[in-house]
Amino acid sequence: MRTLIAGLVLTATGTFAFGQGQNPAFEAICKDVNTHGYRDATDFREDQSGGVWTTAEKFGSMWKFTFTPPDQIRIDEKMGYVLAQNPGLVIVVEAPGNNGNAAGVWTYAIHIGMQKVVGSQVSGYGGYGAPTSGVKARSTNFDCNFQLK
């Protein structure tokens, strides 16, 4: 029985350590390539824009992802949260917070082996009684340069 318990403890410890520290440190500098977006809004006259999908959106900026094992990630120097990881793959969420009028969240899939990143954002603004309010969702893929550390 003692051997069985020791074996289970060692297996669980090894599995936990592998699950948390399996990816190398890296930095990825990325630029958005294609972005699809959805927006629906109501303005101060209560005119609704109607839900509109577009592929014309561009962020036009560089994004920096810095991963420090076992589970620390920074996106443009802001702390993100690792939700899950497997060897070569990290799933991240970033919640920039709210500014009193809007709130949103970004999620990313970072594939170290492919050196690819995709991201999606959902956000809403306006709340109850605001002069303008709306929702949006955007998904984009990135062209990245990865440096393993």
Residues 112-142: pLDDT tens digits? Answer: 999 999 999 999 998 777 788 899 999 999 9
Q: State the total domains in the chain.
A: 1
7 Ramachandran zone, left/alpha/beta (phi>0; psi -120 to 50): alpha
**CB distance 32 to 135 below 8 Å:** no
Greatest Cα pair distance, the chain, in angstroms, is 74
- Specify the pLDDT at position 73: 98
139 or 17, which is more confident: 139
Question: Token digits for 79?
Answer: 């702390």
Domain of residue 60 covers: 2-148
Residues 61-83: pLDDT tens digits? Answer: 899 999 999 999 999 999 999 99
Q: How far apart are CA 111 and CA 80, in angstroms?
A: 16
